[in-house]
A and B are shown apart, each in its own frame.
Chain A
Amino acid sequence: MSIETPKGCVPVIEVRGLSNHFGDQVIHEDLDLTVCRGEILGVVGGSGTGKSVLMRSIIGLQTPAAGEVEVLGENMVGREEDEAKNIRRRWGILFQNGALFSTLTVAENVEVPIREYFPYIKAPLLDEIASYKIAMGGLPPDAGPKYPSELSGGMVKRAGLARALALDPELLFLDEPTAGLDPYRRRLSMTLSLGCRSGWT
């Protein structure tokens, strides 16, 4: 399975010969994939066809049975934890169910990646950044101090998106972004204009 790579492509994701299986069940077999800078790639398939597993292999949450994965020029398989840190601040990931930290408010959720990588940013600026990220995610103004359990499914997703956008990522992974969301198209074009180079659906 290979697709022609367009000319002048700067690869941000390179997958070669990826294989995944759970027990006897083969999910991926010898999968090749290249995503270029500026490209939006949507992965479509029925339930249980391995879309999420592919994403998890690329972002390093799932160790593949075989194959190589490179993201933004860095090897993702079998690398050290320290090396991975560099790459983690350059991508944003929206999980299927939002995966918000349930004990933190929406604003605190958005601030988590910023605090982690830029601890010297002071609280007032941090709050301002969180505030416009929340607005970008498409949440109403009163959503900031709410806990994830007080939000609707769609709002959880928007908050997850705000968190994924917290560090202005070069690469954005969106697992099932449209489920539970209404006018997603507008958001997607917005994220792109903000300099996100690649998307994942």
Chain B
Amino acid sequence: MVASAASTAEGGNPTLRIRGTLTITRAASIQREIDAEADPLTIDLSGVERMDTVGAWLIYRAVRDRHVKVVGASAETEGLLHEVAEYDKPVQVRPEEGPGFTRAISELGEWIAETGRTLVGLLGFFGATLIGLANVTTRPKRFRLNAVVQRFDVVGVRALGIIGLMSFLIGIVIGQQGAVQLQQFGAEIYTINLIGRITVRELGTLMTAIMVAGRSGSAFAAQLGTMKITEEIDAMKTIGVSPIEALVIPRLIAAVIMMPLLAFWAMLMSLLGGGIFVWLSLGIPPLTYVQRLQEVIPITDLWVGLIKAPVFGFIIALAGCFQGMLVEGNSEEVGLRTTTAVVQSIFLVIVLDAVFAVFFSSIGWG
């Protein structure tokens, strides 16, 4: 079917004759044709075979905004024109935006206010979990053992493989790097001191915390966030189940209890990796290695590592659950909050680690 628009001048007034289909497919070209003509214009629709609402809209807006007369419209076309006219309402399509400068200032202000609200919110959330914990301890029947055990499995047992492998490799890397440097002084035996002290005191716990934040902290935020979007959490509240008790506390307990266990496992695996390295590369037999470890690692190092672990676990679970509970609206927010949860918890863990380092040194556990 040939569709065309032809313009002629009849009796002084230019006339635009539209033939064939007047649909969205030709919207752009028809609009150009109409715009090209001068006022006053007559549009002849007698040759139109098919028209859709976009076509009708083009004709309608020409009539509305300009000095345009429509002739030759069939009953059906006429009907559609009226129909479209009925839906010409001042619908807002784009959000209102102020000038760039004020927008930048207001964005900065909103950001600051948001940060403040988040901090207050985190404090409030911390309080709510403490109240929840108190409720659970005073009424042990409300303690959800199954949920906690399930979290133990997800947070702890299933992380053994990846954390073990990671720590094993870190042990080898520390051994290798240490040996290269210490060999220059002929002091490669001190590689064992390096491996032993750094993994037990610092890296075992820290790397485990980072891994748990990435694995479980993100999962907490995503799970709770999705439940928030699907209104599961609202449903829970209306039934009378406290989301803090049912969702947050099991995750919190699991993270707090699993973190030291995982950290201990990470220390062992690092020592194993380092041990294998010094055996194969420096020729120090395993027995000597173990004996030497016993001599150089003070027991306080182990305490330092293990005392930090549950605190880190608590921070990770708190940040994850808090961000998850903050999710509102759409699925994009879940991703955003999950990222924030991981970044926040790793940042807080490192800050706290520094605080712990200072604290333990000053009480003489250096």
A residues sitting closer than 8 Å to B (CB atoms) are 102-103, 105, 107, 114, 118, 120-122, 125, 127-136, 139, 141-145, 147-150, 167-168, 190, 193-195
CA distance A102 to B335 in the complex (A): 13
- B27 CB within 8 Å of chain A: yes
- Among the 9-residue stretches B85-93, B269-277, B292-300, B355-363, the one with 4 or more Cβ atoms under 8 Å from chain A is B85-93
Taking a contact as CB atoms closer than 8 A, the residue among B24, B57, B90, B330 that contacts A141 in the complex is B90
Task: Name the CB-closest residue of A to B95.
Answer: A145
B residues sitting closer than 8 Å to A (CB atoms) are 23-25, 27-28, 31, 52-54, 57-58, 61, 79-80, 83-84, 87-96, 328-332
What distance in Å separates the Cβ of A159 from its nearest Cβ neighbour in chain B? 12
Excluding A118-B27, A130-B91, A130-B93, 13 further A-B contacts by CB distance (< 8 Å) are A105-B95, A114-B24, A118-B24, A120-B28, A122-B31, A129-B54, A136-B87, A141-B92, A144-B91, A144-B94, A145-B96, A150-B329, A194-B53
> Hey, which chain B residues are within 8 Å of A141, CB to CB?
89-92
> Do residues B329 and A147 form an inter-chain contact, with CB atoms below 8 A?
yes
Taking a contact as CB atoms closer than 8 A, the residue among A103, A114, A121, A128 that contacts B332 in the complex is A103
Give 14 CB contacts A-B under 8 Å. Answer: A114-B24, A118-B28, A121-B24, A121-B27, A125-B31, A131-B93, A134-B93, A135-B88, A135-B91, A136-B87, A145-B95, A148-B330, A190-B83, A195-B80
CA distance A144 to B93 in the complex (A): 4
> Do residues A121 and B329 form an inter-chain contact, with CB atoms below 8 A?
no
**Of residues B24, B329, B331, which shows the largest number of chain A Cβ atoms within 10 Å of its Cβ?**
B24
Task: Name the CB-closest residue of A to B96.
Answer: A145
What distance in Å separates the Cβ of B82 from its nearest Cβ neighbour in chain A? 10
> Hey, which chain A residues are within 8 Å of B89, CB to CB?
131-132, 135, 141
CA distance A135 to B28 in the complex (A): 22
CA distance A127 to B79 in the complex (A): 23
> Hey, which chain B residues are within 8 Å of A148, CB to CB?
330
Q: 4 tightest CB-CB pairs across the interface, nearest first?
A: A149-B329, A102-B330, A145-B95, A168-B52
CA distance A147 to B96 in the complex (A): 14
> Do residues B25 and A118 form an inter-chain contact, with CB atoms below 8 A?
yes
> Do residues A144 and B53 form an inter-chain contact, with CB atoms below 8 A?
no
Task: Name the CB-closest residue of A to B29.
Answer: A120
> Hey, which chain A residues are within 8 Å of B96, CB to CB?
145
CA distance A109 to B96 in the complex (A): 18
What distance in Å separates the Cβ of B246 from its nearest Cβ neighbour in chain A? 25
What distance in Å separates the Cβ of A144 from its nearest Cβ neighbour in chain B? 4
> Do residues B57 and A132 form an inter-chain contact, with CB atoms below 8 A?
yes
Task: Name the CB-closest residue of A to B60.
Answer: A132
> Hey, which chain B residues are within 8 Å of A135, CB to CB?
87-89, 91
> Hey, which chain A residues are within 8 Å of B92, CB to CB?
141-145
> Hey, which chain B residues are within 8 Å of A103, CB to CB?
330-332
> Hey, which chain A residues are within 8 Å of B79, CB to CB?
193
Assuming the contacts A121-B28, A144-B94, A168-B23, asked whether A128 and B57 have C-beta atoms less than 8 A apart, the reply is yes
Task: Name the CB-closest residue of A to B61.
Answer: A128
> Hey, which chain A residues are within 8 Å of B61, CB to CB?
128
> Hey, which chain B residues are within 8 Å of A107, CB to CB?
91, 93-94
> Hey, which chain A residues are within 8 Å of B330, CB to CB?
102-103, 147-149
> Hey, which chain A residues are within 8 Å of B84, CB to CB?
132
Assuming the contacts A135-B88, A168-B23, asked whether A127 and B93 have C-beta atoms less than 8 A apart, the reply is yes
> Do residues A194 and B25 form an inter-chain contact, with CB atoms below 8 A?
no
> Hey, which chain B residues are within 8 Å of A121, CB to CB?
24, 27-28
> Do residues B24 and A167 form an inter-chain contact, with CB atoms below 8 A?
yes
Task: Name the CB-closest residue of A to B55.
Answer: A168
Task: Name the CB-closest residue of B to A134.
Answer: B91
> Hey, which chain B residues are within 8 Å of A147, CB to CB?
329-330
Taking a contact as CB atoms closer than 8 A, the residue among A102, A136, A144, A168 that contacts B331 in the complex is A102
> Hey, which chain A residues are within 8 Å of B95, CB to CB?
105, 145
> Hey, which chain B residues are within 8 Å of A122, CB to CB?
28, 31
> Do residues B93 and A195 form an inter-chain contact, with CB atoms below 8 A?
no
What distance in Å separates the Cβ of A123 from its nearest Cβ neighbour in chain B? 10
> Do residues A132 and B87 form an inter-chain contact, with CB atoms below 8 A?
yes
> Do residues B90 and A194 form an inter-chain contact, with CB atoms below 8 A?
no
> Do residues B331 and A194 form an inter-chain contact, with CB atoms below 8 A?
no
Task: Name the CB-closest residue of A to B332.
Answer: A103
CA distance A131 to B96 in the complex (A): 15
CA distance A122 to B27 in the complex (A): 10
CA distance A147 to B330 in the complex (A): 9
> Do residues A195 and B91 form an inter-chain contact, with CB atoms below 8 A?
no
CA distance A103 to B330 in the complex (A): 7
CA distance A136 to B61 in the complex (A): 16
> Hey, which chain A residues are within 8 Å of B329, CB to CB?
102, 147, 149-150
CA distance A193 to B23 in the complex (A): 16
> Do residues A131 and B91 form an inter-chain contact, with CB atoms below 8 A?
yes
Task: Name the CB-closest residue of A to B58.
Answer: A125
Task: Name the CB-closest residue of B to A127.
Answer: B93
